[in-house]
Structure 1
Amino acid sequence: MHGRPRKALKPEDLAASAAKAEKLRILQSQFLFNHHQKIYTKEALELSGKLLEINPECYTAWNYRKLAVQHSLIEANSDPDSVKSFLDQELQLVENALRQNFKSYGAWHHRKWVLNKGHSSIEKELRLLDKLQNVDPRNFHAWNYRRFVAALLNRSDEDELNYTQDFIDKNISNYSAWHNRSVLLSSLMKKNVQGFSQKDEVLTREYELVREAVFTDEDDQSGWFYHRWLLDQTVKAESPLLDSSWPAHGSDITLSGDRCLDLGSSSPLNNYQFDSGLLPLILYFNQAVEGVNSSTVTFSSGFNMNKDAIWKPLSSNNFKTAQVWVAQLKLPKVELDSLQAYTIEVTVGHSQGIISSSGHYCRPSEFAFTVRVQHLKTKQAEGSGLEKISWGDENFHIYEFDSLESNLVIPLNHPSIQNEHESADSSWQAKIIDEEVNNFRELLDCKIGKLTLARLLTARDALMSLDKSVHSDEVLRLLSELMKLDPPHSRFYKDEHSLVLLKKVTSSRESLLSYCFRYRNLASSTSVNPICLRLNGLSLSRVGSFEKLLWVQMLDLSQNELRSIEGLEAMQLLSHLNLSKNKLGSFTALEPLRHLKSMKVLDLSYNEIGTHTIDSTRYLCSSPLSHSVGGEWDDSEIVTDGVSLANYWEAFLILKGLKLTQLDIAGNAIADEKFTAFLAKVLPALKWLDDVQLN
């Protein structure tokens, strides 16, 4: 462990180890009997104490001690001396256990639990910590416990900061001390303590301090981690902000049905199918927030509209916080005149309630968009509109917009969300990062130096207005070099490379339009051809920049290296998605699809679904064992030919709620006859399955 070579045990050591193991087995057997029978006698407590002194990692024994202490305190009849004596014995037991293993989670937590009873001397704890930390100055358990004790003693953060600095001065590679410093500084800046109220001055001092550590020993990671924390503090917004929305501010949206339309000069980029009578409104924040509801987000419009929209967080977990929120606006189509444009104004955060882990939403925002309704002009023949979507290159042609459309392509622009307050001056941030960039250009001979420079340049671009990617090419080059220099971590660098590449692609309207293609299926009887964003063949291992892609309805991500599609749930308009020829290893990696209720066409062909016996992404997905599945799951339901849901529960939970009309799954290990029959059963709207038209 931690680079320590293992040595073969000598015969006498093996005999001693066997004797210790036998003693431990006997103690555990007796202890478990006492625990199950709820025996809390003096003899039983002594036995559990012996067990913990030999093996402090026995968490069940620590839990038993808590039950025994509670039982004994009740019997003590609130006698202060008896209570204190009993709790002091517990503290001594913990101390003995820590001598056996200084890093025992159970022992440290039990000591906290005893101290919280309020009958023990806290001053003694600091003296004990001083001794233990002199033996092992890096032990993060001790540093964590010290913060707990310091809070009980009301010790000032300044005193603790000085104490921490002494350890850093003794050893600059003490990563636990650096971490403790970050915790204390965060607290001091949050409280606006004198000398720590000016964030720019504090961070400038800290950069100078950690720079000395990094340049002293560039191979030591302690300083690098602290530098990364400083960079995060430099660029992180102090409160949540609205990054983007759909519809975007100033956009002109045409709502249409699912039949043949004549849109005239209207841009297909702004056309949205209005089959359900619901218009999705998407809010994309810069960090996960809660409290988005009809009180904190209000609407006004020129027609009768349901203004009490229900907001839902788009998150793979069951928490009420998310970076992306969506509401479905009910628009009464019968009242709308196709010759008239209706303006909808949205106000975000004028009443308090939206909050994140970093603070309250304190910059109220307003944006407005125009809605038009395109009525049906002709009806399609029976059975038409079911043509198979073909993703071949021959069906896509570069999208060329004319000058008349230039004002309509609003979704490609940076969202012009109007804030009542001026944005904070970021000149000090730019100055700090520019200085760090100049310094770290001298450390390009080491891997961590290249990675830090890439992060600094990315942060510098993020501070620029209008989302310019001035340094993206240099960052991509640095990450490519790191993939070659450090193969064991190449997947991490590849993910970062993919995110930077997508930021570059979406950095301007001109750049993004070069990836937009008009889909033309000559067999189609419709006169409206959707616009497809083609990001295929870019060697992407991760997707991002979703705040710029909320408008996309047709997306091609084929021929990449994706292992997950995390974040794709933000693209609520998505109806056509091509994920073929990637590295998706299971249906649980497709969890975001559950939120994409507009999905009609999905291509998962030639991935690795069913190939891997161990699913490393299963923990990310809801399952029959979790409470999030709800009434969707019935393990007694037989789907087809004796195949139960239990065999394909991942596919069932991901695909069941989608109204897919076309699905391609060929080329995956899971795609046998039973599975395709299963899909045909659970997807009743399916018309095409692996190029075969279903009855």
Structure 2
Amino acid sequence: MHGVKRVRYSREALAAQKERELAKLKEFQGLTAEVLDRKKRKDHGRESFDLTTRLLHVNPEFYTIWNYRRLILLDGVFPTSTPTQTNEILSDDLSLTTTLLKQHPKVYWIWNHRQWCLRQVPDGPTDTDPNGWRQSYWNKELFVVEKMLEVDPRNFHAWNYRRHVLDNMPVKRTELSELAYTKRKIEANFSNFSAWHQRSKVLTSLWSAGKLDKPKSIEEELDLVKNAMYTDPGDQSVWIYHRWLISLGDSKNVVDREILSIDELLDEQPDSKWCMESLVFYKRLLLRKYSESLTDEERWKLGSDCEGLLAKLQRVDPDRKQRYIDLSGHSV
């Protein structure tokens, strides 16, 4: 890399480094063998529990050890613990997963263990929360996952976990507040696919419950996504969300209007792959759904436009040339 001074190590230094790495590997292999042997013998004692902690710090993707750890807690630790002690143990395990997630934010098994811990929380009040330990835990979880999404707003593991938290909180967070949260995340970064996905779920729920006027909010969403399109026309997540919105309605006027808007964007961004793909998609949608209301000339014009766009896409996006050839050969 430019600007980085290359360090030359002596033969002795390299040999010493290799020796240290081999020693660490040997220690890890020995620890693994001992823990697996204890698992085989169904040793659910505290010493085995501590050994799983050591091993998971080295390899948090070792899902067998996570499973063994839960068995130790269920069979060896919880049965002899008071609710307060159980609460403290679970709090320690959540702290362990928080530490591990800072270095390994996309390891499924850490997130899974965190969910499992929350399911084990016993009933009991706290001095600051009359709703009990459970509500206190879930409030903290929402805070933790929001902090993680500040670090990486597109971490889909964190978004999935956020949905789990929101679904299970004893005192629910309002869906309108969640809708506002997704908008903040989207406006901070339009390419946040997970935030768009979360927004679609929240909107669907609000519409089903009659808490939002669906036609009006779809129009508002189309305005939001149009802003995103013009800001970053090359971002896939924006176009996928746009197609989802259009699929919810049954209005030729809306499709015509959106085609006109995308055509205007294509004039500014003549090589925009997603503009062209979307125009093909929506023009074929007109041919498929509203053919009877079109004149022969209009149908011919739409078909001709699609063929021209697909031919241009073969040049603009040569890696997917065969896909566009196949699409050109298929009927609408």
Query: Offset of 1:479 from its aligned partner?
Result: 2.0
SS at match of 2:106: coil
How many angstroms does 1:171 deviate by? 2.1
Give the 3 Å change call, closer, same or farther, for CA 116–93 of structure 1 in structure 2.
same
User: In structure 1, what residue type is equivalent to 2:257?
Assistant: E
Gaps of 5+ in 1: 1-7, 235-425, 504-695
1:218 is paired with a residue whose SS is coil
SS in 2 for 1:502: coil
- The residue that corresponds to 1:91 in the other structure is 94
Q: State yes or no: 1:502 paired with 2:328.
A: no
Paired position in structure 1 for 2:129:
none
Look up the SS of the partner of 2:32 in the other structure: helix
Query: How big is each residue's C-alpha offset from its partner over 1:359-412, in whole Å with a ceiling of 9 and x where there is no partner?
Result: xxxxxxxxxxxxxxxxxxxxxxxxxxxxxxxxxxxxxxxxxxxxxxxxxxxxxx
The one-letter amino acid of 1:462's match is R
Mapping for residues 23-422 of structure 1, pairs under 5 Å: 23-72=27-76, 75-76=79-80, 79-119=82-122, 120=134, 121-153=137-169, 154-193=172-211, 196-198=212-214, 200-234=215-249
Letter of the 1:182 partner, please give it. Answer: S
Q: Per-residue displacement from partner, 1:545-601 (whole Å, max 9, x unpaired)?
A: xxxxxxxxxxxxxxxxxxxxxxxxxxxxxxxxxxxxxxxxxxxxxxxxxxxxxxxxx
How many Å apart are 1:112 and its aligned residue? 1.1
Which SS does the other structure have where 2:43 is aligned? coil
Deviation, 1:135, is 1.5
TM-score under structure 1 length normalisation: 0.40
- How has the CA–CA distance of structure 1 residues 19 and 158 changed in structure 2, closer, same or farther, with 3 Å as cutoff? farther
CA separation in 2, counterparts of 1:24 and 1:452? 52
1:19 CA drift (Å): 5.0
Deviations 1:627-679 (A, max 9, x none): xxxxxxxxxxxxxxxxxxxxxxxxxxxxxxxxxxxxxxxxxxxxxxxxxxxxx
Please give the per-residue CA displacement for 1:315-369, whole angstroms capped at 9, x wherever unaligned: xxxxxxxxxxxxxxxxxxxxxxxxxxxxxxxxxxxxxxxxxxxxxxxxxxxxxxx
Q: Distance in 1 between matches of 2:163 and 2:7?
A: 40
Cα shift at 1:125: 0.9
Which residue identity is paired with 1:205?
A: E
SS of match in other structure, 1:39: coil
Distance 2:29 2:322 in 1: 44
Q: Relative to 1, partners in 2 of residues 1:64 and 1:51: Cα closer, same or farther, differing over 3 Å?
A: same
Q: 8 Å contact 1:138–1:176 — kept in the other structure?
A: yes
How far off its partner does 1:107 sit? 0.7
One-letter code aligned to 2:107: S
Matched AA of 2:261: N
**Contact 1:54-1:100 at 8 Å conserved across structures:** no
* Percent of residue pairs identical: 33
- Paired residues of 2:186 and 2:192 also in contact (CA < 8 A): yes
Cα distance in structure 1, aligned partners of 2:21 and 2:222: 50
Distance in 2, matches of 1:233 and 1:489, equals 29
Query: Structure 2 vs 1, CA of residues 145 and 9 (structure 1 numbering), >3 Å: closer, same or farther?
Result: farther
| 1:242-270 per-position Cα deviation (integer Å, ceiling 9, x unaligned) | xxxxxxxxxxxxxxxxxxxxxxxxxxxxx
Q: In the TM superposition, what is the alpha-carbon distance from 1:113 to its structure 2 partner?
A: 1.6
Kept in 2, the 8 Å contact 1:137–1:167? The answer is: yes
Q: Per the alignment, do residues 441 and 92 of structure 1 end up closer, same or farther by CA in structure 2, a change over 3 Å counting?
A: same
Instruction: Answer yes or no: is the 8 Å Cα contact 1:133–1:139 preserved in 2.
Output: yes
Work out the CA distance in 2 between the residues paired with 1:117 and 1:203.
Answer: 40
Summarize deviations over 1:188-223 as a string: whole Å, max 9, x none. 122221xx233x222211111011111012223332
Note closer, same or farther for the CA distance 1:21–1:144 as it changes in structure 2 (3 Å cut): same
Higher strand share: 1
Residue number in structure 2 paired with 1:487: 318
Once residues 7 and 287 of structure 2 are traced to their aligned partners in structure 1, the CA distance between those partners, rounded to angstroms, is 56
Q: Which residue of 1 aligns with 2:131?
A: none
* TM-fit CA distance, 1:111: 0.8
Using the alignment, how far apart are the partners of 2:231 and 2:224 within structure 1?
A: 11
CA distance in 1, matches of 2:87, 2:47: 20
With over 3 angstroms needed to count, the CA separation of the structure-2 counterparts of 1:228 and 1:36, relative to structure 1, is farther
From 443, 447, 468, the equivalent of 2:265 is 443
Give 1 or 2: higher helix fraction. 2
Aligned to 1:463: 289
Bigger Rg, structure 1 or 2: 1
Identify if the C-alpha distance between structure 1 residues 76 and 202 changes in structure 2 by more than 3 Å, giving closer, same or farther: same
Assess if the C-alpha contact under 8 Å between 1:76 and 1:83 holds in 2: no
Q: Contact 1:168–1:178 at 8 Å: present in 2 too?
A: yes
Q: What does residue 478 of structure 1 align with?
A: 309
How far off is 1:69 after superposition? 2.2
Give the distance between the partners of 2:48 and 2:114, measured in 1 at CA.
20
- The within-5 A match list for 1:516-531 is none
C-alpha separation in 2, matches of 1:465 and 1:494 = 24
Q: Which amino acid aligns with 2:55?
A: L
Q: Note if contact 1:483-1:490 (Cα within 8 Å) is conserved in structure 2.
A: yes
For residues 479 and 100 of structure 1, do their structure 2 counterparts lie closer, same or farther at Cα, with a shift above 3 Å needed? same
* Equivalences, count: 297
Aligned residue type for 2:262: F
Contact 1:168/1:174, CA 8 A, preserved across alignment: yes
Kept in 1, the 8 Å contact 2:78–2:86? The answer is no
Given the alignment, which residue of 257, 275, 279 partners 1:453? 279
CA contact (8 A) 2:182 2:198 kept: yes
Distance change >3 Å, CA 17–CA 123, structure 1 → 2: farther
User: Contact 1:91/1:114 (CA < 8 Å) preserved in 2?
Assistant: yes
User: What letter matches 2:190 in structure 1?
Assistant: I
Distance between the aligned counterparts of 2:328 and 2:293, measured in 1?
Answer: 18
Query: Contact between 1:157 and 1:188, CA under 8 Å: does it hold in 2?
Result: yes
1:108 alignment partner AA: W
Residues 44, 72 of structure 2: 8 Å contact kept: yes
For 2:38 and 2:324, the matched residues in 1 are separated by 53
Q: Determine helix, strand or coil for the equivalent of 1:92.
A: helix
Query: Does the 8 A contact of 1:482 with 1:493 survive in 2?
Result: yes
> CA RMSD, aligned part only?
2.6
Give yes or no for the alignment of 1:434 onto 2:256: yes
Are the structure 2 counterparts of residues 96 and 20 from structure 1 closer, same or farther at C-alpha, using a change threshold of 3 Å? farther
